[in-house]
Chains A and B, each alone.
Chain A
Amino acid sequence: QVQLQQWGAGLLKPSETLSLTCGVYGGALSGYNWSWIRQPPGKGLEWIGEIHHSGKTNYNPSLKSRVTMSVDTSKNQFSLNLTSVTAADTAVYYCARPVAYMSGNIYVPDSWGQGNLVTVSS
């Protein structure tokens, strides 16, 4: 089963750039779309966007102007950059493959990183 491990800075000042990276272990990046999802403290889930292993991206329109995602297939990892952060960007950020399906008789589960709390404060 694929495992995701994510890392990046946890404390930012307003106007700085949030950068997170997610490593994919026990499986390949190829053939899937990989998402970033965030959750403000005490609130619900918000999809930030996704990237295919080919590099094709699909962003949430509400964040599109500030978001860049990239993929490094040689390292089996993908990354998120979010520019010009404000306090409203304070959240737990998850990398994920938030889909599940049957491949023949084998169930392929969703995979999530452990989550990173990113706090934006002056």
Chain B
Amino acid sequence: NAGVTQTPKFRVLKTGQSMTLLCAQDMNHEYMYWYRQDPGMGLRLIHYSVGEGTTAKGEVPDGYNVSRLKKQNFLLGLESAAPSQTSVYFCASRPGATGGGLQPQHFGDGTRLSIL
């Protein structure tokens, strides 16, 4: 019963490199989210998905791309990493059975990304 699993847990990149963060959930949830958390701030939404094959922009989408080819996976890509993208990235999922955001989100333990 893994819940939400994020891969990798830590990564150091050089400016300009690309990488993909993987989020996998085994709860059959419809909605999935990618957030970033910076020191002294709450989570800010990067992109989200309301179902397989769908994606939408959140508050801070610039510099990131996402894909949801399979219901259980939500990928976050950095095409050309910049030092401003140094952050802790969290993935979350929740059921989509009812509207209004009444179901809580389930979070992974984060990916700590440093860009030099």
Q: A and B, one complex? A: no
